[in-house]
């Protein structure tokens, strides 16, 4: 009887998987705010109000130069947007944050007020990985926040498997590694060996502020300041932690599976 009731309940509920990317993307929570935008031309001389409240030093201003915001360091706490009296730093409510190059996360120069979104893999890599991507996840000292959002993508609402993307237990069966955490000294060898065990051609994805720059632990001697010094990164997905929608957008963007990248 219990099984019958369960089946009937599931049938009444219908399909629970979201339509995205073939339908509208789900809205971000009000507190999230999405990507940040920096209009450095609005910063008056001598004003360092946003830089003083940034917990990771993501905002800096050198003498004689414009303000710079590094979204690879940013925890998206929103302290800068609340503190800036000139509206130079603002939230965009845009979930898209993935980039291919580390420099694309730096904002502040004229014409670079927002990050430069990731482009798809080249034709050869897309032909190999575009329809089926297997990732070995390596938590290299993470706090489990990024890991939790990675797991969310496997639930019925997101159903990551419908895109041919799966997490695997062995690097021998993987096409790449998905790295979280600042890569502590204790996990450096494990990450390096996992990377070397993945057959070529392979890719590496740094997910979260820790894996990109060290995040809230930046400058601590017991980690490597992210995955870049250990393995070559093909995709950066910033956030602390990144929203599942941001992660999914990054995966699909890398594989050229989003409509906006076609044609």
CA distances from 183 to 18, 66, 73, 139, 152 (A): 33, 31, 15, 8, 22
Strands 59-60 and 133-139: unpaired
pLDDT of residue 126: 82
Do the beta carbons of residue 217 and residue 248 sit within 8 Å?
no
First to last CA, the chain: 52
CA neighbours closer than 13 Å in the CB half-sphere of residue 47: 18
What number of other Cβ atoms are within 10 A of residue 119's Cβ? 14
Q: How far apart are CA 149 and CA 167, in angstroms?
A: 13
pLDDT of residue 48: 84
Strands 203-207 and 176-180: parallel
In order along its 263 residues, the chain shows pLDDT tens digits of 678 888 888 888 888 899 999 888 888 888 888 999 999 888 888 888 888 899 999 998 877 778 899 999 999 998 999 998 888 999 999 999 999 999 999 998 888 999 999 999 888 888 888 788 999 999 999 999 999 999 999 999 999 999 999 999 999 999 999 999 999 999 999 999 999 999 999 999 999 999 999 989 998 899 999 999 999 999 999 999 999 999 999 999 999 988 665 54
Q: How far apart are CA 179 and CA 206, in angstroms?
A: 5
Dihedral, CA of residue 185, residue 56, residue 108 and residue 229, to nearest 10: 0
pLDDT of residue 214: 93
Do the beta carbons of residue 234 and residue 203 sit within 8 Å?
yes
pLDDT of residue 261: 54
- Rg of the Cα atoms in the chain: 20
pLDDT of residue 7: 87
Residue of 235, 228, 234, 232 whose CA lies nearest to 210: 228
């Amino acid at each position: 009887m219990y099984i019958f009731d369960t089946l009937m309940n599931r049938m009444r509920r219908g399909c629970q998987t979201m339509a995205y990317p073939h339908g509208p993307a789900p809205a971000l929570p009000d507190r999230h705010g999405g990507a940040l935008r920096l209009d450095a031309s609005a910063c008056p001389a001598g004003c360092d109000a946003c830089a003083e409240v940034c917990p990771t030093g993501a905002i800096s201003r050198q003498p004689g130069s414009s303000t710079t915001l590094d979204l690879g360091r940013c925890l998206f706490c929103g302290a800068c947007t609340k503190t800036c009296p000139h509206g130079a730093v603002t939230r965009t409510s845009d979930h898209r944050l993935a980039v291919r190059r580390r420099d694309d996360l730096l904002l502040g120069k004229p014409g670079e007020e927002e990050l430069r979104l990731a482009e798809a893999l080249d034709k050869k890599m897309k032909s190999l990985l575009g329809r089926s991507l297997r990732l070995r996840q390596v938590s290299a000292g993470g706090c489990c926040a990024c890991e939790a959002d990675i797991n969310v993508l496997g639930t019925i609402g997101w159903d990551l498997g419908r895109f041919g993307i799966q997490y695997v237990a062995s690097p021998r069966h993987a096409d790449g590694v998905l790295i979280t955490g600042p890569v502590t000294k204790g996990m450096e060898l494990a990450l390096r060996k996992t990377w070397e065990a993945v057959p070529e051609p392979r890719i590496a994805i740094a997910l979260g502020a820790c894996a990109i720059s060290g995040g809230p632990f930046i400058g601590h001697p017991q980690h490597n300041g992210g995955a870049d010094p250990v393995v070559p990164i093909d995709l950066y997905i910033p956030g602390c932690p990144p929203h599942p929608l941001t992660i999914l957008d990054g995966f699909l963007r890398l594989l050229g599976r989003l409509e906006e990248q076609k044609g």
